[in-house]
Amino acid sequence: MKSFKTCAALGIALALTACSGDHDKHDVGGTGQDVAPQVNNAGPVPGSEADLVASAGDRVYFALDQNQISGEARVTLDKQAAWLARYPQVKVLIAGNCDDRGTEEYNIALGQRRANAAREYLESKGVNAQRISTISYGKDRPAVDGDSQDAWAQNRNAITSVR
């Protein structure tokens, strides 16, 4: 239970970090890909990660073993491209992820394939390639805990975060 509380506390810290526009992600050990949408009266800082989440959505999902951009994903990525056009100084990191029904090593490559697919789509919508970097966590940074079909579907994703 102790570690769960720590996790909850960390979640709050992450949300505050996102709100303040401080992007020193190393303090929280990763990419900020688990930043939750933060709603308050002031609204998210324009151009911030929270703004990206609220305005466009930060993640797209993939079918089992696939890296095709679905129609639903296209809607999200179109919004991300429009948002990135509004904030041309912002750089993003796209992290590809997989469910845990593949081997660790194959999934690292598969996650990268998903991140690349999202990157290529954004580039095709006019986002400068220099503004996008990619990474894959394979199955090691699941967005959702648990081993249900629903959890796996949510863990097959590419998550865009502000660098």
Q: How far is the CB of 48 from another protein (least distance, A)?
A: 19
Q: How far is the CB of 119 from another protein (least distance, A)?
A: 9
Decide: is 157 part of the binding site for another protein (CB under 8 A): no
How far is the C-alpha of 57 from the C-alpha of 35, rounded, in Å? 11
Which are the contacts of 7, defined by CB distance < 8 A and separation ≥ 6? none
| Residue number, 16 or 85, with CB nearest to another protein | 16
Binding characters for another protein, 101-120, by CB under 8 A (x = yes): xxxxxx-xxx-xx--xx---
Looking at 10, 12, 36, 75, which residue binds another protein (CB under 8 A)? 10
* # binding residues, another protein (CB under 8 A): 43
Residues lying near another protein in the complex (CB under 8 A) are found at 2-4, 6-7, 9-10, 13, 25-26, 29-31, 34, 65, 67, 93, 100-106, 108-110, 112-113, 116-117, 135-137, 140-148
